[in-house]
Amino acid sequence: MKRDEYMRALEATRRIEYPTPQQMLSICPHVRPKQALEALMDLGTIATPPLKIRRSFQVAHHLPGVSTPQPVFLGGHDSVRTLESYADGKPHGSVFWRHPFMDEAMAYAEQHWPGDLVLDSWTDALKIYLMDPAAASAPWEDEASPVIMLGLNRAWQEIINDHSAPRVSLLNEAIVIASVNPHENAEIRGGRGCFERSLCLACGGDNFAGRRCRTCPWKSIAADTLNTTAPKRVIEVLRESGHAFPASP
């Protein structure tokens, strides 16, 4: 199975009520079908391959309908680390639990997409909620709202207190890794705490009054003429993911 196929399977199985064996097996290419189903039905959990972080793994859960009204399958619901996933060999808040077939899951990723895997070498994680000024609810109230996760090579508080250059420049220089994929985001964070910011999807600003962006509609990233508070790397990741910033009104 290729990485893109596996990622699509994870997205398709994030939550399935009354799952079929075929649906559950779609994210278990590293294990024989009988073994995978036995782990899910008897233990309720199984490790699946990581997308981004070397020596980590995703975890899927099967809830048989005792704690939920109906049987539910949660594919790639969690990301779990091993100590070896951190480049400096320190735990960074992670609690290391063994899961069924975790070694097979990590080996599968190493065999099939080794070029996409990296060790965690960053200091802090920064979670950015992507705000749509026209949305009825705030992104933290809607699980479908996009979030971008950044791994930084400096402590976030250190960046805030550094006045040697504009914060947007300091933040852009500190970005080691960035993603809008929710499964990759969970892997990037690891066991560490996560700082949070908001970013306007229309103009790239982070000047909010409640849910209202104070910057719109007078600035637009699409015009490439602004002094936006969004780091260049964040804009690149959003555009690579298919987001189109609207032109100035």
Residue burial 198-223, b: 16+ Cβ < 10 Å; e: rest: bbbbbbbbbebeeeebebbeebbbbe
* % of the chain surpassing 70 pLDDT: 79
Cβ(54)–Cβ(117) below 8 Å? yes
- Written as six digits, the tokens of 67 are 């704690």
Cβ(200)–Cβ(226) below 8 Å? no
- Of 47, 142, 32, nearest to 97 by C-alpha is 47
Strand 72-81 versus strand 56-63 pairing type: antiparallel
Helix (H, G, I), strand (E, B) or coil at 212: strand
Local confidence band at 212 (pLDDT 50, 70, 90 cut-offs): low
Tokens 């609810």, residue located: 137
The tens digit of pLDDT for each residue in 5-31 reads 999 999 999 999 999 999 999 999 999
- Of 72, 69, 57, nearest to 15 by C-alpha is 72
The tens digit of pLDDT for each residue in 38-96 reads 999 999 999 999 999 999 999 999 998 766 678 999 997 789 999 999 999 999 988 88
Residue burial 150-184, b: 16+ Cβ < 10 Å; e: rest: bbbebebeebeeeeeeeebebbbebbbbbbbbbbb
Amino acid making up residue 54:
R
What is the model's pLDDT at position 133? 62
Q: Which is more confidently placed, 190 or 249? A: 190
| pLDDT over 50 at 140, yes or no | no
The tens digit of pLDDT for each residue in 83-106 reads 999 999 999 988 888 999 999 999
Which residues contact residue 6 at a Cβ distance below 8 angstroms, ignoring those fewer than 6 apart?
A: 27, 29, 49, 51
What is the model's pLDDT at position 232? 84
What is the model's pLDDT at position 225? 37
* % of the chain surpassing 90 pLDDT: 57
pTM of the full structure: 0.84
- Of 133, 99, 100, nearest to 218 by C-alpha is 133
